[in-house]
Amino acid sequence: MVELIHITSVKIAFDILESTRYKSMYEYGGYDGGMNFLGVLGENANTQPRARGVRLHFIWGGEVSEPVSYDAYGCNNANVLYDFNGSGNHFRNNDPRYFLPYRSEGLTVEKLEIDSDQALLEGWCEYKGGIIKKLFSIKLFHSYLMSKAKEHVLQLNKKIERRDIKISIRREKVKSE
């Protein structure tokens, strides 16, 4: 089993956990045609995630490739975790990571780690949208909204603790803002 970390925003994390799908529209077979994870070398200046606020921790129990160089082709077989220096410094690569291609299934969520209460509040309100998003603009409601956001996280954490959330990787349109 390989432990993996994916950095994203609170809004996207909630969408992944609730839909049980990671969604992206990059091309099949491309270097980003799936889901990326930090490797043991951690973040790199070249590959810092744009969306931030959450670290989703996963366990992958499926097949793992031998380390492959950054320019390797054909690394798009479903249910194979590709090791682009994810396990260490094997090849010259300014983009060290693990990569799980589209159509992969069975990625188990282990932990939801939110960077701050502010990130939670903003991201949860963005995720919920509608009137909740409008209420966020009124500071008077922040305490109430925070209690609802924390309640949502508590419910998700119960599912995570039971290992009830398994993620699939899909090429599909991400829900618009």
**DSSP secondary structure, 32-56, as one string:** TSEEEEB-TT---GGG--SS-EEEE
Contact 168, 78 (CB under 8 A): no
Contact 82, 75 (CB under 8 A): yes
Per-residue confidence (pLDDT) for residue 89, from 0 to 100: 79
Q: Count Cα neighbours of 43 within 13 Å in the Cβ-side half-sphere.
A: 9
Per-residue confidence (pLDDT) for residue 177, from 0 to 100: 41
Please name the amino acid found at residue 85.
N
Per-residue confidence (pLDDT) for residue 49, from 0 to 100: 77
Measured CA to CA, the distance from residue 121 to residue 151 in angstroms comes to 12
In 10 A of CB 161, how many CB atoms?
Answer: 12
Per-residue confidence (pLDDT) for residue 30, from 0 to 100: 61
Structure-block tokens of residue 166? 């398994």
Low-confidence ranges of the chain (pLDDT < 70): 28-31, 47, 175-177
